[in-house]
Amino acid sequence: MKSYPLTHLKTALVLAAFLGFVITALPARNNPETELIPVSLRIAPADRYPVPALGDDAPLVSEQVRDNWTSIEIRSGDNLFTIFKAVGLKAAELQAIVDIGKDVAILRKIVPGKTLGLKISKSGELDALRYDINALERLLVTRDADRFVAQREISNPEIITAYQTGRISTDTPSLYHAGKKAGLSDNIIMKLSNIFQWDISFALDLRKGDSFALIYEDIYVDGEKVKEGEVLAAQFQNMGKTYTAVLYEDEHGIKSYYAQDGRSMRKAFIRDPVHFSHVSSNFNLRRLHPIHNRVMPHRGIDYAANKGTPVIAAGQGKVTIARQNSASGRYVVIQHGEQYTTKYLHLSKFANGLRPGKTVEQGQIIGYVGATGWATAPHLHFEFLVNGVHRNPRTVKLPDAKPILAKNMTDFRNTTQPILSRLSSVAGQTSYASALGQSSNDGG
């Protein structure tokens, strides 16, 4: 290899360093198509009301234009004070809104995930505030000279009658899975289970081939679906038996579900005190205990569910026991009149305010699934006693609620017959998702 004098190498290094300096000193040519320009979505305080720099938890806004509405997404921990401070609004304006009183009481607990609208003038003063209470109702607060006034705006919804059908199968073994495949929302699936919960145990009784059909309300505002309304009628075919229910409102404005002959779908007790669980152990007086490994009577039903799943009272009654021991863990006993008693064992915790002597309503949350006491995994152990004797909750005959009054039967038949005829037609359809395309005020 040919060698170079040391002076030549030093000269080359100096030239390289000089060229590097020149290149870095030249102005960069920006490519307008690839240059990234940072855009801040955070609220910039008004010049007149400077505020400290916002932290990571400050609310985000969709726009920042004075004299126009600014939408702020409410985040966990936000309240009106922190939001007003972030946008530079006066504390006096917040106080003036609070002073309106009960008409704005809902603003004391604004809900994360909802949107708060603020209209701020060019001078930095609040002109109006709006808060969506629900899909159909909005609170609007507007400035009137030196004070604020509140009013509620109610949207005029369009109610469309829709229907769905579904089937229990190997791929959809539960009501929830079958309902989701049919395109039903969680809300409607829950309503459907509530209608038939007195007759069908959705944890025990479902079989492949069972099917359901229902007619319900879709509610639209300005052409956009915002929620579902009532289930108007429903049918469930379970283990070869067909249950049909229709919604009826009596002369006092009380709504309830009834069978076609006017019998109430409601019973004194609900079959399953835990929704959408599965049975891990049935009523069995000769069961081998999984912990003690010996035959011990299992005088109830075990519902396997995630820890924290709500447990509801099977019927109206009075709490006689709410305590803890080594075997049952945290447990609740409810007395229903003189004849019936229900027990709920292995709870992770009791519902707030639950105590002996307290009256509970059917369907009220009394506790949450756990694994306290002699339990190998989270589940609810549920017992049903008649006159002090344990009965199988799955097969015990439950007392009925009151049927349609005789004086109302003609009105009941005339009112419900059109929707029941539609339901019969829907149940014969093979499609899994459709809509009747009619407003609910079409007379039928």
CATH code, 371: 2.70.70.10
Same domain, 176 and 263: yes
* Domain end residue (candidates: 135, 154, 173): 154
Contacts of residue 184, defined as CB under 8 A and 6 or more positions apart, other chains included, come to 164, 166, 192
Residue 228 lies in a domain: yes
Least confident of 101-115, 217-231, 261-275, 426-440: 426-440
The pLDDT of residue 159 is above 50: yes
282-301 pLDDT tens trace: 544 555 555 545 555 668 88
Determine, yes or no, domain membership for 124: yes
Would you place residue 8 in the very low, low, confident or very high pLDDT band (cuts 50, 70, 90)? low
Is the pLDDT at 335 greater than 90? The verdict is yes
Q: Do 166 and 193 belong to one domain? A: yes
Based on the fold, state whether residues 287 and 367 are members of the same structural domain.
yes
Claim to verify: residue 150 and residue 167 sit in the same structural domain: no
In a domain, 44, yes or no: no
For residues 217 and 202, the answer to whether their CB atoms sit within 8 Å is no
Closest CA to 153 of 166, 135, 165: 135
> Which of the pair, 180 or 205, is modelled with greater confidence?
180
CA–CA distance, 245 with 236 (Å, rounded to integer): 9
Q: What percent of the chain has pLDDT over 70?
A: 76
Q: Are residues 262 and 171 in the same domain?
A: yes
pLDDT at 256: 94
What is the C-alpha separation between 65 and 242, in angstroms, rounded? 60
Q: Is the pLDDT of residue 401 over 50?
A: yes
Render pLDDT for 182-198 as a digit per residue (tens, 0 to 9): 999 999 999 999 999 99
Residue 255: the pLDDT is 93
| One domain, residues 188 and 261 | yes
Strand partners, 368: 310, 349
Which of 105, 132, 154 lies at the terminal end of a domain, its last residue? 154
Entry pTM = 0.65
Whether 373 has a pLDDT exceeding 90, the answer reads yes
Whether 444 shows a pLDDT value over 80: the answer reads no
Would residue 3 count as lying in a domain? no
pLDDT at 339 over 80: yes
Report pLDDT for 214.
Answer: 97
Q: Is 8 inside any structural domain?
A: no
Lowest mean pLDDT among 60-64, 260-264, 382-386: 60-64
Q: Which of 126, 154, 182 is the last residue of a domain?
A: 154
Q: What's the CATH number where 146 sits?
A: 3.10.450.350
Q: For residue 44, what pLDDT is reported?
A: 35
Domain of 144 in residue numbering reads as 69-154
Residue 200, judged by CB atoms within 10 A of its CB (0-12, 13-18, 19+), counts as buried
| Count of structural domains, the chain | 3
Residue 275 has pLDDT above 90, yes or no: no
User: Which region among 172-176, 252-256, 399-403, 407-411 has the lowest average model confidence (pLDDT)?
Assistant: 399-403
In three-state secondary structure terms, 272 is: coil
- How many Cβ atoms from other residues are within 10 Å of residue 395's Cβ? 10
Contact between 259 and 196 (Cβ < 8 Å) = no
pLDDT at 376: 85
The predicted pLDDT at position 276 comes to 67
Mean pLDDT of the chain, nearest integer: 81
Comparison of pLDDT for 313 and 135, the residue scoring more: 313
What is the per-residue pLDDT for 396?
85
Do 94 and 187 fall into the same domain? no
> Does the residue 25 lie in any domain?
no
- Within this chain, do residues 263 and 227 fall inside the same structural domain, yes or no? yes
Q: According to the model, what pLDDT value does residue 5 have?
A: 56
284/387 same-domain check? yes
Q: Whole-angstrom Cα distance, residue 393 to residue 76?
A: 42
**Percent of the chain having pLDDT more than 90?**
55
Same domain, 144 and 191: no
What is the radius of gyration, based on Cα positions, of the chain? 32
- 75 with 171, same domain: the answer is no
| Cα 382 from Cα 390, distance rounded (Å) | 11
Residue 59 is assigned to a structural domain of this protein: no
204 and 349 together in one domain: no
* Any domain includes 82: yes
What are residue 154's DSSP bridge partners?
Answer: 137
Query: What was the pLDDT predicted at 402?
Result: 83
